Amino acid sequence: MIFIPSFDQTQRQYLLTHALTLLYTPSMEHFGIVPLEAMWSGTPVVAVSNGGPLETIKNGVTGYLVDSDPIEFAAAALKCMNHREQFVKNGREWVEKQFSSRTFETRLERILNEL
């Protein structure tokens, strides 16, 4: 295991693209962009099942939502590695469908037209 406390944009993208799984451990985190960036980059996510990840991660499809427990994180990470190809495909499609600028523009236009 390697801990990198600070890295540039190129290193960040390399890490997101080549990681087997992203372990997102903050509890009660607000929206959180990191899981979306990971899924878009082809990395499944294991996150605590509260806060923002409840909105951004599709449990069992783009990664896993688990209790804040090391054993659950480890088990879910192993599952992600065993289903990696499908999670990679699902993650990118999910982010594009739900969180792309195109999606936000469409939703905003719909709201504005209803006013």
Residue-wise pLDDT tens digits, 91-106: 999 999 999 899 989 9
| pLDDT confidence tier of residue 4, bands split at 50, 70 and 90 | confident
Q: How far is CA 74 from CA 39, 68, 69, in A?
A: 18, 11, 9
Per-residue pLDDT tens over the stretch 40-60: 999 999 999 999 999 999 999
Smallest CA-to-CA distance from 46 within 13, 12, 82, 11 is with: 82
Proportion of the chain above pLDDT 70, given as a percent: 99
Torsion-angle region of 105 (φ positive above 0: left; ψ -120 to 50: alpha; else: beta): alpha
Mean pLDDT, the chain, as a whole number?
Answer: 91
- Helices in 21-63 by DSSP H: which ranges? 34-41, 53-56
Alpha carbons 67 and 65: distance in angstroms, whole number: 7
Smallest CA-to-CA distance from 28 within 63, 52, 55 is with: 52
Domains belonging to the chain, first-starting first, are: 9-114 (3.40.50.2000)
